[in-house]
Amino acid sequence: MPALTTLLFFVLAALALVAIPGPNHIYIVTRSIAQGRAAGLASAFGVETGTLVHIAATAAGLSALIASSAVAFDVVRYLGVAYLVYLGVRTLLRDDAPSLGASSGGMRLRRVYAEGVVVNVLNPKVALFFLAFLPQFVDPSRGPAYTQILVLGLVLAALGLASDIVYALTAGALGGWLRRRPSFLRRQRYVTGGVYLALGAAAAFAGRGEK
């Protein structure tokens, strides 16, 4: 286990990081505005489930493999880009307005959750972030590194989830107001699809060395 002072310092650093809006926040906000609060919350839980995958990979050393191999990095990155582009094109081509009705809400929320997981897992930048950030707070004298990484990662995931939920609830309230406007409903799929495509483009053109 990390020392208490190390853990407190880590929490402060993590709070500063999760407070800054990033691609995951944009993705969650887009879901909440387009499909409602429930979809935003499902996306938040999906994204942070993906975070747990990255934490486990960091502890197991898989992130180091991605960091050391340009091919592995690019394969994961372009899979993520392709998935975001797929979400964008699917949204743009869909004629019906997104809905989470009672008859199929559970199934659709599970799909939204799964898409949140995939979007985060296929972002190698997240893997490299954990590889660079978490080991800075590991003290070899406090026990196995993988145990400390897991503890620190779970703390960061919990803080990230709290931040994601705030974004989802806020955007969900805004989305409820917007969805009562006919003009928004007519343009909704173009805005949502455009955001997904923009996220995909940002991931495609982000170099390995950039933050």
Burial class (CB within 10 angstroms; exposed 0-12, middle 13-18, buried 19+) of 47: buried
> Which residues of the chain are under the pLDDT cut of 50?
98-104, 208-211
Q: Are 153 and 83 in contact (CB under 8 A)?
A: no
The pLDDT score that the predictor gives to residue 101 is 42
pTM summary value: 0.72
Token pair recorded at residue 184: 């928004």
Token pair recorded at residue 55: 């934490």
Token pair recorded at residue 60: 């197991």
The pLDDT score that the predictor gives to residue 42 is 95
Which residue, 142, 167, 204, is CA-closest to 19?
Answer: 167
Q: Report residue 47: phi and psi, to 5°.
A: -60, -45
Q: Which residue has 């991605």 as its token pair? A: 66
Q: Are 1 and 147 in contact (CB under 8 A)?
A: yes
- The residues, any chain, with a CB within 8 Å of residue 25's CB and separated by 6 or more, are 163, 164, 167
**Cβ atoms within 10 A of the Cβ of 179, count?**
17
What is Dmax (Cα atoms) for the chain? 62
- The residues, any chain, with a CB within 8 Å of residue 130's CB and separated by 6 or more, are 54, 55, 57, 58, 63, 153
Token pair recorded at residue 101: 């009705």
